[in-house]
Structure 1
Amino acid sequence: MPVEAVVFDIGNVLIEWQPERYYDRVIGEDRRREMFSAVDLHGMNDLVDQGHHFTDTIYAWAEKYPEWRDEIRMWHDNWIELAAPAIPHSVRLQRALRAKGVPVFALTNFGVQNFDYATTVYPFLNEFDRHYVSGRMKMVKPHVPIYQMVEQDCGLPPETLLFTDDRIDNIETARGRGWQTHHFDGPKGWAERLVAEGLLSPDEAA
């Protein structure tokens, strides 16, 4: 069935999200490995994605681990350095689709406050036709309800949605709902898929 809207994940699709890389640079790989072994930082971030307050959650987590307090607070205080850089080719694809009149949605696990902050640094995050941000919705991928809410809100048949995400579990849930999917492993493959679907020409996808 023809694609009526394209749905982008954000982290590692439009913006690189590699917290370990940031900490390797700032505190060194050995100390970073020790901290990530002792502290469930991704679990902390999951709470933010579920709608818990960005500052309150991270600062409270830091107080639970006083030996890592300063390093954990970096997740908040230097957050934009963790969520960087943008992936330029993916941004070009987002904008090329919109220029062709193809509706483009964001479906992302992202906190409320840090998403609002990110939009001030990355203007393309303001350029989606619809935003489905987990922190606002109080539900996260890969659980079925967030996909159901997208379907209900946009009003399009699931099989007309083309969704790209770097995480296979998120892709599998979408596929189970009948969505068309692309497992993102780099913008080149994504560009080729958009061309194959007839949504962009090779020049537009370059």
Structure 2
Amino acid sequence: MSSIDIRHIVFDIGKVLIHYDPNLPYSRIIPDEAEREWFFANVCTHDWNIEQDRGRSWEEAEALLIKDFPEREEQIRAFRKYWQEMVPHAYVETVSLLERLIAEGRDVTMLTNFASDTFREAQVLYPFLTLPRGVTVSGDVKLIKPDIAIYETHTRTFDLDPSATLFIDDSIPNVEAARLAGWHAVHFVDPEKLKADLAGYGIHP
């Protein structure tokens, strides 16, 4: 058993608790795979989308792209319009771990890169997202992982002891940033590895 006393557990959401894949609606909107890859590489890119996670409005985001790609307006607007199709299911085993940790009385919060409005939709789609003590949403605080400032904001907001905090995220840069913020952190790959990682800290939900 680990000698480290973990008193706070912080979950990421996308690809840890719920699935996320923009290709799901776009395989219908842009059936040609090569064209779809071009679209994500040049129009609705990851860097464009992350700015909505940082707090930029969808209206501004769409206008920026439509100015440069007017012929793609319908496809650009489809990103927000069909967002719910991108999050089709939860990861049942990980959610079960989350629920058991909460049922045990452990202090569980969430830290996520998410646009403000789509996160509220996600909470309606997946009510378990309302179970933890609270959440820091990047779109609300205008900061995104792996910026150390968002971890510090979460620490202050929820009065965490960094040395007693364990973070779970599917992104290695986000995990490394959490460690730089003084937290313990594990890289999420699948529920079985997470169980083993938790057990390494003496946590057996």
Task: Provide TM-score, normalisation by structure 2.
Answer: 0.90
- Judge conservation of contact 2:44–2:76 (CA < 8 Å) in 1: no
CA distance in 1, matches of 2:70, 2:94: 39
RMSD: 1.6
The residue aligned with 1:174 is 178
Count, aligned residues: 200
The residue aligned with 1:11 is 14
The residue aligned with 2:107 is 103
Letter in 1 for 2:94: S
Letter in 2 for 1:166: D
Letter in 1 for 2:80: H
- Judge conservation of contact 1:58–1:73 (CA < 8 Å) in 2: no
CA distance in 2, matches of 1:98, 1:57: 38
Letter in 1 for 2:138: S
- Judge conservation of contact 2:143–2:150 (CA < 8 Å) in 1: yes
CA distance in 1, matches of 2:177, 2:197: 20
Unaligned runs of 5+ in 2: none
Unaligned runs of 5+ in 1: none
The residue aligned with 1:24 is 27
Which deviations, in whole Å up to 9, do the C-alpha atoms of 1:58-107 show, x marking residues without a partner? 43245232222222212111101112321111111110100000111110
Shift of 1:37: 2.7
Letter in 1 for 2:147: H
CA distance in 2, matches of 1:67, 1:164: 41
Percent identity over the alignment is 35
What secondary structure, in the 3-state scheme, does the structure 2 residue paired with 1:69 have?
helix
The residue aligned with 2:198 is 194
